[in-house]
């Protein structure tokens, strides 16, 4: 009987400890999944910086690969991370424009650039809509936005690859007088 009572008290103690630990965690709004997404976002930002380093040493192909890989493919669950990713994508687009400008000798005339810009803007709007729907807890509409976002991601990857091809193809050839 005492063993059974000791086992019951041990289980009760473990449950009480778990409950007490969960209180401050809930108060801090600690979400391990969100922490994981933020860590991933930082990894994609680092990829863009790797592209910067490659471009500085003159390795255009590596820079373009890093910039393409810097596309963050996930929806964010909070506005702070969403804003960080939007700024990151704006930075990636600026870097691509700078790479194109550098390769074309001062003029950027790339059709894919406009398409990538439009897709990034569409992506920003989808993210914004998703956050509103998430707050309103509208699961069906959130699912629709998630599907549209996935489609946007696929289109954007294709457009980024096409833009990288155009940048590479538009290199200024040396002219001899």
- The reply to whether 126 and 43 lie within a common domain is yes
- The reply to whether 49 and 87 lie within a common domain is yes
Q: Is residue 177 part of a domain?
A: no
Q: Is residue 61 part of a domain?
A: yes
DSSP line for the chain: -HHHHHHHHHHHHHHHHHHHHHHHHHHTT--HHHHHHHHHHHHHHHHHHHHHHHHHTT-HHHHHHHHHHT---S--SSHHHHHHHHHHHHHHHHHHHHHHHHHHTS----HHHHHHHHHHHHHHHHHHHHHHHHHHT-HHHHHHHHHHHHHHHHHHHHHHHHHHHHHHHTPPPP---
Q: Is residue 52 part of a domain?
A: yes
- The reply to whether 19 and 55 lie within a common domain is no
Q: Is residue 137 part of a domain?
A: yes
Q: Is residue 153 part of a domain?
A: yes
Q: Is residue 165 part of a domain?
A: yes
- The reply to whether 88 and 8 lie within a common domain is no
The pLDDT assigned to 36 comes to: 83
The pLDDT assigned to 109 comes to: 64
- The reply to whether 80 and 13 lie within a common domain is no
pLDDT tens digit sequence for 124-159 = 999 999 999 999 999 999 999 999 999 999 999 999
Q: Is residue 164 part of a domain?
A: yes
Q: What's the total number of domains in the chain?
A: 2
- The reply to whether 53 and 104 lie within a common domain is yes
- The reply to whether 87 and 22 lie within a common domain is no
- The reply to whether 132 and 163 lie within a common domain is yes
What residues in the chain have per-residue pLDDT under 50? 173-176
- The reply to whether 83 and 124 lie within a common domain is yes
Q: Is residue 176 part of a domain?
A: no
- The reply to whether 63 and 93 lie within a common domain is yes
- The reply to whether 112 and 85 lie within a common domain is yes
- The reply to whether 89 and 65 lie within a common domain is yes
Q: Which residues form the domain of 11?
A: 1-30
């Amino acid at each position: 009987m005492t063993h059974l009572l000791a086992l019951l008290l041990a289980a009760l103690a473990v449950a009480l400890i778990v409950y007490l630990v969960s209180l401050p965690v809930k108060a801090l709004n600690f979400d391990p999944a969100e922490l994981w997404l933020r860590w991933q976002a930082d990894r994609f930002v680092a990829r863009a910086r790797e592209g910067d380093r490659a471009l500085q040493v003159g390795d255009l192909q590596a820079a373009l690969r890093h910039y393409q890989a810097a596309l963050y493919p996930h929806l964010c669950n909070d506005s702070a991370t969403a804003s960080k990713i939007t700024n990151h994508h704006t930075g990636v687009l600026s870097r691509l424009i700078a790479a194109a400008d550098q390769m074309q000798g001062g003029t950027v005339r790339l059709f894919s650039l406009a398409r990538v810009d439009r897709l990034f803007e569409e992506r920003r709007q989808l993210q914004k809509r998703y956050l509103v729907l998430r707050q309103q807890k509208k699961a069906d509409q959130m699912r629709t936005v998630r599907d549209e976002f996935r489609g946007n991601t696929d289109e954007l990857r294709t457009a980024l690859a096409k833009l990288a091809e155009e940048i590479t193809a538009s290199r200024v050839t040396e002219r001899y007088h």
